[in-house]
Amino acid sequence: MIKAIMQRLGVSEASWQGGDLSVMTPVDGRVIGQVKIDTPAEVDAKITAAQSAFEQWRCVPGPRRGELVRLFGDALRRHKDDLGALVSWECGKILQEGLGEVQEMIDICDLAVGQSRQLFGLTIASERPGHHMRETWHPLGTIGLITAFNFPVAPWAWNAALALVCGNSLVWKPSEKTPLTALACQALLEQAMQDFGEDAPVGLSQVVIGEREAGEVVVKDPRVALISATGSTRMGRAVAPLVASRFGRCILELGGNNAMIVAPSADLDMAVRAILFSAVGTAGQRCTTLRRLIVHTSLREELLTRLKKSYSGIVVGHPLEGALVGPLIDADAYQNMQTALQKARDAGAKVYGGERQLEDHYPDGYYVSPAIVEMDAQTDLVRQETFAPILYVISYSTLDEAIALNNDVPQGLSSCIFTTDVREAETFVSDVGSDCGIANVNIGPSGAEIGGAFGGEKETGGGRESGSDVWKSYMRRQTNTVNYSRELPLAQGIKFD
């Protein structure tokens, strides 16, 4: 099955068979590939190749660079089913979500193609006669990408599509748990480069295979102008100072601990559906997963009853065979979930669900029923991100209290409120409302569209990816003053003769 998919995606067998790093599918724990780990010298050589490709690629006009991304988007359209299925096999998310991830890649390609004709700057009035000022944007260099297992392809594409139209080259260190999808994306991009012709320099996009150590080589290399890193806050804490010490640039997309406030006027039917999608989807392994439900005391019992009923109908199982919730990524993830649930029980919380499922069927696959944990307060346990389907439920009495709870965690990625009261809704998205990078009204915290800037504050890292004016992060800004007069006046009226 995997072999046929990899063949159709154009991935050479040598790149994913016979290597030293085993790739396991969380579906049943089987080894589905053996990739070769790059040595530090090999990583260095890949950065050298990308840097040399950058020097040629920056000379290709922006709209023409957009044509490469258009061809890549077309390749993704043609191969959506295979790549989506590979995502499901490799990281365990259900097929609908695997396909959704590939659609996000297609969407960002479309956005980047349009952007390739709009890499525009400003003209600025000069105080000096016969002078003209402007602000221009230029390609930045080699972009280093580090990605997480749970979104193995879309975050790479958010960065890659924009970085390419902005005139940069790429070095990608995917998660060691999901290298096959990375090799598949690389193969599709190489096909697009072939279709594009010789303007696309060899080496424009590189994939580095390995664990943390391989990532560190990319992070430390001064030739890599920007590091865009997606993963845990722990990873960001290690990466950020290394990049800062060489004055490199960083985009950090780290952990989240996302909340939903359910206000007295909320449409509960909508809220329950939104909770289900965002709390149990991807088996609770989205950065934007709903982890905290802040519910008005007057609704707590009713909402809990309805949620438990919905949770009891969730089909947990094989992600490519119609289940709603697939497996956790591995045994460690399962252990972390059980540890968190035990701590909650020890602290007196009521725990619903959370048990291992299908163990007889898949002894090496870690399937769980999603858990609801009824808390009396927002404790330290709730403040940390446990990357599993655990929904903590806390109650509130006033909106101020609810917003304070929403903000009282170290992370600041996504948030939302369910209310039909316009005052509450507007307060939530105002200066004194949610402190997160994403704040939604009457939709859940996950499932963002690519048109907006994606990212979060505080320990989520402060980075933004995807739409809005994010393209500017992949370019270097230059201020130009052009004197077209025959005089040389100084600014601020300074006389120097």
Q: What positions carry a catalytic annotation?
A: 253
Q: Please, which residue, 387 or 396, has the CB nearer to ligand NAD? A: 387
Beta carbons within 10 angstroms of residue 494's beta carbon: 7
Question: Does 176 interact with ligand NAD (rule: CB under 6 A)?
Answer: yes
Residue 39 is given by DSSP the state P
- Determine the interface stretch with ligand NAD among 213-221, 263-271, 298-306, 420-428 (rule: CB under 6 A): 213-221
Contact predicate 424/468, CB 8 Å: no
CA distance 159 to 136: 21
Q: Please, which residue, 427 or 440, has the CB nearer to ligand NAD? A: 440
Which of 68, 108, 143, 148 contacts ligand NAD by CB under 6 A?
148
Question: Does 216 interact with ligand NAD (rule: CB under 6 A)?
Answer: yes
CA distance 150 to 137: 33
- Determine the interface stretch with ligand NAD among 26-34, 45-53, 173-181, 481-489 (rule: CB under 6 A): 173-181
Which of 79, 93, 173, 292 contacts ligand NAD by CB under 6 A?
173
Residue in this structure with the two tokens 């048990």, named with its chain if needed: 355
Question: Does 254 interact with ligand NAD (rule: CB under 6 A)?
Answer: yes
Strand stretches in 159-286, DSSP E: 169-173, 205-207, 224-230, 249-253, 258-262
Question: Does 282 interact with ligand NAD (rule: CB under 6 A)?
Answer: no
- Determine the interface stretch with ligand NAD among 229-237, 243-251, 314-322, 345-353 (rule: CB under 6 A): 229-237
Beta carbons within 10 angstroms of residue 442's beta carbon: 15
Size of the site for ligand NAD (CB under 6 A): 31
Question: Does 458 interact with ligand NAD (rule: CB under 6 A)?
Answer: no
Question: Does 256 interact with ligand NAD (rule: CB under 6 A)?
Answer: yes
Residue 36 is given by DSSP the state P
- At position 450, the amino acid (one-letter code) is I
CA distance 183 to 33: 11
Q: Cα dist. 321→177, 364, 369, 452 in Å?
A: 22, 18, 17, 32
- Determine the interface stretch with ligand NAD among 43-51, 143-151, 354-362, 397-405 (rule: CB under 6 A): 143-151
CA distance 490 to 302: 72
Contact predicate 237/216, CB 8 Å: no
List the strands of the sheet with 142-146, edge to edge.
205-207, 169-173, 142-146, 224-230, 249-253
Which of 149, 428, 471, 474 contacts ligand NAD by CB under 6 A?
149
Contact predicate 411/455, CB 8 Å: no
Q: How far is the CB of 233 from ligand NAD (least distance, A)?
A: 6
Which of 51, 460, 466, 473 contacts ligand NAD by CB under 6 A?
460
Q: How far is the CB of 455 from ligand NAD (least distance, A)?
A: 6
Question: Does 93 interact with ligand NAD (rule: CB under 6 A)?
Answer: no
Question: 182 φ, ψ to 5°?
Answer: -65, -45
Question: Does 212 interact with ligand NAD (rule: CB under 6 A)?
Answer: yes
- Determine the interface stretch with ligand NAD among 30-38, 85-93, 170-178, 265-273 (rule: CB under 6 A): 170-178
Q: How far is the CB of 232 from ligand NAD (least distance, A)?
A: 3
CA distance 481 to 130: 10
Question: Does 232 interact with ligand NAD (rule: CB under 6 A)?
Answer: yes
Question: Does 385 interact with ligand NAD (rule: CB under 6 A)?
Answer: yes
Which of 230, 282, 427, 446 contacts ligand NAD by CB under 6 A?
230
Which of 55, 127, 135, 211 contacts ligand NAD by CB under 6 A?
211
Q: Please, which residue, 202 or 331, has the CB nearer to ligand NAD? A: 331
Residue 478 contacts by C-beta under 8 Å, 6 or more apart in sequence? 135, 136, 137, 138
Q: Please, which residue, 201 or 248, has the CB nearer to ligand NAD? A: 248
Give the containing element (helix H, strand E) for 393.
strand 390-396
Question: Does 253 interact with ligand NAD (rule: CB under 6 A)?
Answer: yes
- Determine the interface stretch with ligand NAD among 10-18, 128-136, 253-261, 340-348 (rule: CB under 6 A): 253-261
Q: Please, which residue, 175 or 181, has the CB nearer to ligand NAD? A: 175
CA distance 41 to 32: 27
Residues of span 285-324 touching ligand NAD by CB under 6 A: 287
Q: Cα dist. 139→21, 105, 107, 118 in Å?
A: 35, 22, 22, 14
CA distance 459 to 219: 19
CA distance 294 to 228: 32
CA distance 147 to 290: 21
Residue 396 is given by DSSP the state E
Question: Does 150 interact with ligand NAD (rule: CB under 6 A)?
Answer: yes
Question: Does 175 interact with ligand NAD (rule: CB under 6 A)?
Answer: yes
Q: How far is the CB of 223 from ligand NAD (least distance, A)?
A: 16
Q: How far is the CB of 261 from ligand NAD (least distance, A)?
A: 21
CA distance 280 to 275: 8
| End-to-end Cα distance, the chain | 79
Q: How far is the CB of 461 from ligand NAD (least distance, A)?
A: 7
- Determine the interface stretch with ligand NAD among 80-88, 231-239, 261-269, 479-487 (rule: CB under 6 A): 231-239
Secondary structure class of 284 (helix, strand, coil):
helix
Residue ranges that bind ligand NAD, judged by CB under 6 A: 146-151, 155, 173, 175-176, 211-212, 215-216, 219, 230-232, 234-235, 238-239, 253-256, 287, 385, 387, 413, 460
